[in-house]
Each structure stands twice: as structure tokens, then as C-alpha cells.
């Protein structure tokens, strides 16, 4: 098998990532931050049992008067229910108007329409809990890899995970997609997925490192050989995963697409960072902090 030179243009790989992250940062500044959804800033959730199939455009006509940016999702086994999520906390008068609009449109009783309000305090608590969950995941992974391999592997893997997280945030900043609980779920899923792929390559590097231990080690060549040996596995795993996620994105309901989109970004970024960020960065750390 011909060894591919991944390490030679590593400055280009790092530069591509920095450029994409810079674009995300620029959009964050221009837009004044992420487009936080109602899970984080509070708002109202409307759950109505229509009792028959309906078009989202029909619900949109009702909600345009109150919030044109409301998120509308089919629900129920027969898709005869709807969930409307909005960042606006409606007062009793507006609630009564919305209930009447649904009742007049679909001839349903008011008991089949329920409101749930999420206050900004709950949103702040969720944001804090989400941040803690991500930090704990990072800390646990750093400790695990440092113990199983060495701290240089741990720091390189953590940098790759931070890269994947930042890429997902950048994508949401550029496209101004609302950040809700599904984003956090997808983020934690990608952290687990990406680190698994990284560990496979790191394990191969460690295996080859033991073979070359008695010689003067060329770390660049060592990583090139190790990544080449695991390249087919990494690509095949990512492609099969992406095929499934793309199917969910194009064929699934809006709630599924909200989860599938960040997963697509995360899987692509995770495959890239494992090969072009984590492994080259380990070489940089290994040379910078030499082992006797």
C-alpha cells in the first residue's frame, strides 16, 4: 500500500480549519451571537390535536399573525397533531385568540389545544447544564486518553473535538439556525463519534510506535503510515453514517432534520479533524515536548 503524505501539507490543513472558523466568528459578531431558540431564551409551545392530516402551510397561516418565525412540526402517530414553538410568551388574550383560530379552522374543542410556557430562567439553566455536560465530556475524554495512551494524545484529541464543536457552532452562526436542545444532543453524539474514530488512528500510531521504538523515529512518516493504514476504515465508517443521516434529513420530519443537520456537519468535521488535525497535532506536541 502506497503511503500518503498527510503530514507534509499540515499547515494547509490547519489553515483551512482556521479560515472556516474565522468565517463563523465573523458571522457571530455580525449577527450578535447565535440564534438561540426557545429552549434557551424562553417562549411558548402549542400542542394541538387536529384529528386529521393537515398541511404545515395551514398552520403557518394561523401563526403568521402572531409569530411568522414560529417553528411548526407534525406530531402524533398519524401526523394528526401539531407542535408550534415560538420565542414569544403569549398573554391570556393572545392564547384565547390562537385557540379560537385553531378551533374555527379545524372544528376542534379547546381542550385539544394546550399551551406550555418556558421562562428565560429555565432557558438559562438549560444553557448552563448544556455547557457543563460538554465540559464534563471533554474532561472525561482527556483523562481517559491520557491514561490509556499519553497526555499528548489526549491534548491532540481534545483539540480535534474542540475543532468539531467550533465547526458546528460556526455553521449555525452562518446559517442562523435556531439553537435548541437538539443541537446539544447532536453535539454530544458527535463528540462520542469523533473520539471513537480518533482512538482507532491513535491506537495504530501507538502500535507502530512500539515497532519503531528501538530506532530513531521519523514521526511524520510514522503518522503517514498509521493514517494510511486506517484510512479506508475511517472513510467507509463516515460515508455509511452520512448516507443514513442524509436519508433522515431529506425524508424525515422537521424535528428529525433539526437533529440530522448538525450531525452531518459533525460527521464531516469529525472525519476531517481525526485525519488532518488530531494526528498532525500529536506530532507537533511530540516534537515540542520530546520524550527521552
Q: What is the pLDDT of residues 52-63, one digit of tens each?
A: 878 888 888 888
Residue 74 and residue 54: Cα distance in Å, rounded?
9
Give the CATH number for residue 283: 1.20.1640.10
81 plus 175 within the same structural domain = no
Chosen domain end from 118, 145, 177: 118
CA-to-CA separations, 70 to 63, 85, 103, 142, 164, in angstroms, rounded: 7, 6, 19, 40, 29
Instruction: Tell me what pLDDT residue 123 has.
Output: 67
Which phi and psi (to 5°) does residue 49 adopt?
A: -95, 105
Chosen domain end from 87, 118, 149: 118
174 plus 240 within the same structural domain = yes
Has residue 56 been placed in a domain? yes
For residue range 133-162, list pLDDT tens digits in order: 888 888 888 888 888 888 889 899 999 989
Cell numbers describing residue 102: 385553531
For residue range 222-251, list pLDDT tens digits in order: 888 888 888 888 888 889 989 999 998 888
86 plus 211 within the same structural domain = no
Look up the pTM and report it: 0.80
114 plus 194 within the same structural domain = no
Amino acid at each position: 500500500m502506497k503511503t500518503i503524505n498527510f503530514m507534509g501539507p499540515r499547515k494547509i490543513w490547519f489553515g483551512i480549519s482556521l479560515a472556516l472558523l474565522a468565517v463563523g466568528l465573523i458571522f457571530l459578531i455580525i449577527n450578535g451571537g447565535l440564534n438561540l431558540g426557545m429552549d434557551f431564551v424562553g417562549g411558548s409551545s402549542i400542542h394541538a390535536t387536529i384529528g386529521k392530516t393537515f398541511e404545515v402551510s395551514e398552520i403557518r397561516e394561523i401563526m403568521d399573525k402572531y409569530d411568522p418565525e414560529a417553528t411548526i412540526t407534525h406530531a402524533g402517530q398519524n401526523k394528526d397533531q401539531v407542535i408550534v414553538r415560538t420565542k414569544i410568551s403569549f398573554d391570556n388574550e393572545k392564547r384565547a385568540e390562537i385557540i379560537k383560530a385553531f378551533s374555527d379552522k379545524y372544528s376542534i374543542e379547546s381542550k385539544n389545544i394546550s399551551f406550555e410556557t418556558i421562562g428565560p430562567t429555565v432557558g438559562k439553566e438549560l444553557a448552563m447544564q448544556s455547557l457543563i455536560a460538554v465540559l464534563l465530556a471533554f474532561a472525561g475524554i482527556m483523562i481517559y486518553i491520557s491514561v490509556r495512551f499519553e497526555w499528548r494524545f489526549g491534548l491532540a484529541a481534545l483539540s480535534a473535538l474542540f475543532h468539531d464543536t467550533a465547526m458546528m457552532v460556526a455553521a449555525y452562526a452562518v446559517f442562523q439556525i435556531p439553537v435548541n436542545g437538539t443541537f446539544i444532543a447532536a453535539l454530544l453524539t458527535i463528540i462520542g463519534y469523533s473520539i471513537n474514530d480518533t482512538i482507532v488512528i491513535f491506537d495504530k500510531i501507538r502500535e507502530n510506535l512500539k515497532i519503531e521504538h528501538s530506532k530513531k523515529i521519523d514521526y511524520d512518516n510514522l503518522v503517514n503510515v498509521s493514517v494510511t493504514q486506517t484510512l479506508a476504515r475511517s472513510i467507509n465508517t463516515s460515508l455509511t453514517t452520512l448516507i443514513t443521516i442524509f436519508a433522515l434529513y431529506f425524508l424525515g420530519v422537521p424535528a428529525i432534520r433539526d437533529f440530522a443537520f448538525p450531525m452531518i456537519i459533525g460527521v464531516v468535521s469529525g472525519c476531517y479533524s481525526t485525519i488532518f488535525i488530531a494526528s498532525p497535532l500529536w506530532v507537533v506536541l511530540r516534537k515540542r515536548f520530546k520524550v527521552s
